[in-house]
């Protein structure tokens, strides 16, 4: 249909909102509460426009266009109201921008600058002051910085179906809180961090481990190893000013060496290890009448979700630890023995696209290396250590690069160290939704049939649909598989299992939209278009890998030959597998 925007004729799609029509016309109407595919509650009033014939200003994010509508986005009336609405938000907002984690990447800060607001015109209307909530191992909530846009509530409720946070109170006492105002670490939060990813201010951020990592790096008595997840290599470049989805594996390795890490390893190595263990576990369940469908267990937010909401189905989870945790266990046992290093001196740092990994690293079950050495070295409980010491997000690594003055764009490309740095293409695609399934199928097909598949690309499990299913022909045996991303979609598949209608043998679940590529610790912004570009780079790296199957990774073969002996063997059971618990 035809509408006029700022005296220009524009073609707008029927059913589109004024905000969408303006974007089509190349006009940006600012907003705070609106976020495509996440939130559209029209609460902030920043996107108001004037429409000829309307008595009041209209909120463009929810108002549909009509034939012949005349819209003015920059009329004095609209501009004045927009500016006042932002000023009212600022009245109750903390003013510590210079020391805020989101300084320089804050939508409210940018909007204030764009609208030319340079004075604080209104007094604080909210009398209550709220303390920071630091009860979570993954996230920090600062209600003083909350502008009540509702994005976090929407993403937790609608995208993840967790509902750990919601609006509480009325009028000036309205706030975002948890059930009974308990800390975020004391409720059924999955630590996914999607709330932090969509928050326009610094009201929800990751709990930073940068200080702890810096301290470890400065300790001459420590051997500090770092592992990097596959999704980081297509995200860290964005945070350092490069185009979305830039593949910067080599530069990332070089940057980590310049930060002072003793060795730079690849979590993709552990992803390959996960596939070998998980593929063998799946075949054992199929052949021995084990619990099916088997569901992947590498996403810690998903693990906490099933523990809270579907504990009766924990038996369907693979017992494999995530690649992050497998790496830590192997680094403090196999690598320690191979290099003659005291495991108590080893500090394992992971760089992940995920805030839930911080929580996972402190799960009491994740101390396989300590248990391995406890009797061998006569260790006391006071000497206890976890397999992974600290987990950084992609955003935190970018912060460390900037603090250190590393000119990331000028770095040369360097290779990962050995023996925990070699990976296959299957390990790389772990970062994308469907990637774990495809990697597993590349190995499981060969283990089951005794011969390689005709091609290693299982396109049927790739894509961005919330739930995808495929029939895989294992040399005459049809295996039905499913892939889901976001916890809401995971719940749909779990309901099928609960109802006895699930037709699947194997299911992959990723907590975040798009998989780890859209993780809660990735650069802000992260949206569907950006996730698509990151995925393209992930699959490009896979395509160019010489080895594309996990069980063909020579360093994995050496690990079994020199240390683990065999998949699902005794050492593997103690170091690489775990159990999960029912939570209230």
- Looking at the annotation, which residues are catalytic? 278, 281, 298, 318, 357, 360, 365, 516
Q: Check if the beta carbon of residue 262 is closer than 8 Å to that of residue 250.
A: no
Tokens standing for 116? 């030319």
Best CA proximity match to 266, nearest among 355, 177, 336, 331: 331
Name the DSSP class of 316.
G
Nearest 5 degrees, angle CA 298-CA 299-CA 304?
120
Q: Check if the beta carbon of residue 430 is closer than 8 Å to that of residue 443.
A: no
Best CA proximity match to 516, nearest among 361, 353, 303, 395: 353
Angstrom distances, CA of residue 228 to CA of 23, 220, 307, 316, 421: 37, 23, 27, 28, 10
Distance CA(534)–CA(537), nearest Å, equals: 5
HSE-CB at 22 with a 13 A cutoff on CA atoms is 26
Q: Which residues pair with 266 in a beta bridge?
A: 228
- Strand 139-141 and strand 204-206: the pairing is antiparallel
Tokens standing for 471? 């029939």
Tokens standing for 555? 């360093």
Helical (H) or strand (E) element with 3:
strand 2-5
Tokens standing for 387? 């397999």
Distance CA(103)–CA(119), nearest Å, equals: 18
How many helices and strands in the chain, by DSSP H and E? 21, 17
Best CA proximity match to 479, nearest among 436, 432, 441: 441
Q: Check if the beta carbon of residue 299 is closer than 8 Å to that of residue 510.
A: yes
Instruction: Tally Cβ neighbours within 10 Å of residue 437.
Output: 27
């Amino acid at each position: 249909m035809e509408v006029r925007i700022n005296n220009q004729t524009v073609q707008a799609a029927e059913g589109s909102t004024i905000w969408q029509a303006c974007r089509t016309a190349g006009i940006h109407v600012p907003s705070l509460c609106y976020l495509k595919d996440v939130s559209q509650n029209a609460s902030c009033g920043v996107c108001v426009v004037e429409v000829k014939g309307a008595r009041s200003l209209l909120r463009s994010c929810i108002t549909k266009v009509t034939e012949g509508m005349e819209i003015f986005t920059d009329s004095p009336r609209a501009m004045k109201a927009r500016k006042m609405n932002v000023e009212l938000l600022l009245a109750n907002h903390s003013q510590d921008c210079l020391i805020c984690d989101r300084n320089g990447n804050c939508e409210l800060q940018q909007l204030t600058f764009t609208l030319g607001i340079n004075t604080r015109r209104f007094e604080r209307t909210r009398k209550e002051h709220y303390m920071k909530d630091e009860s979570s191992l993954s996230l920090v909530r600062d209600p003083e910085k909350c502008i009540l846009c509702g994005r976090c509530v929407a993403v937790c409720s609608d995208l993840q179906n967790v509902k750990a946070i919601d609006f509480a109170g009325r009028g000036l006492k309205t706030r975002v809180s948890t059930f009974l105002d308990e800390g975020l670490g004391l409720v059924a939060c999955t630590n996914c961090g999607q709330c932090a990813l969509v928050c326009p201010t610094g009201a929800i951020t990751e709990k930073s481990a940068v200080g702890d990592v810096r301290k470890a790096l400065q300790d001459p008595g420590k051997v500090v190893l770092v592992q990097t997840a596959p999704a980081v290599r297509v995200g860290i470049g964005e945070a350092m000013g490069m185009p979305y989805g830039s593949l910067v594996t080599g530069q990332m390795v070089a940057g980590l060496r310049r930060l002072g890490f003793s060795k730079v390893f690849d979590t993709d190595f552990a992803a390959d290890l996960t596939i070998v263990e998980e593929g063998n576990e799946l075949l054992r369940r199929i052949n021995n009448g084990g619990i099916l469908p088997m569901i992947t267990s590498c996403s810690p937010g998903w693990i906490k979700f099933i523990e809270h909401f579907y504990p009766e189905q924990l038996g369907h989870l693979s017992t494999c630890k995530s690649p992050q945790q497998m790496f830590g266990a192997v680094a403090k046992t196999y690598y320690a023995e191979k290099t003659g290093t005291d495991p108590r001196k080893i500090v394992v740092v992971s760089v992940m696209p995920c805030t839930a990994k911080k929580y996972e690293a402190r799960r009491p079950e994740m101390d396989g290396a300590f248990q391995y050495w406890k009797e061998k070295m006569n260790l006391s409980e006071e000497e206890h250590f976890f397999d992974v010491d600290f987990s950084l997000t992609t955003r935190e690594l970018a912060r460390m690069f900037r603090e250190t003055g590393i000119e990331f764009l000028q770095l040369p490309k360097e290779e990962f160290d050995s023996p925990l740095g070699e990976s296959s293409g299957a390990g790389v695609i772990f970062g994308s939704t469907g990637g774990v399934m495809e990697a597993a199928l590349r190995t499981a097909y060969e283990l089951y049939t005794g011969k390689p598949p005709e091609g290693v690309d299982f396109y049927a499990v790739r894509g961005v649909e919330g739930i995808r299913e495929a029939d895989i022909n294992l040399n005459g045996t049809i295996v039905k598989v499913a892939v889901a991303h976001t916890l809401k979609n995971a719940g749909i598949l779990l309901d099928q299992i609960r109802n006895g209608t699930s037709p699947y043998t194997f299911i992959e679940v990723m907590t975040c939209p798009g998989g780890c590529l859209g993780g809660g610790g990735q650069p802000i912004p992260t949206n569907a278009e950006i996730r698509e570009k990151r995925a393209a780079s992930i699959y490009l790296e896979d395509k160019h890998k010489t080895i594309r199957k996990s069980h063909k990774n020579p360093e994995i073969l050496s690990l079994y030959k020199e240390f683990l002996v065999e998949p699902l063997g005794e050492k593997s059971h103690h170091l690489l597998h775990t159990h999960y618990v029912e939570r209230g």
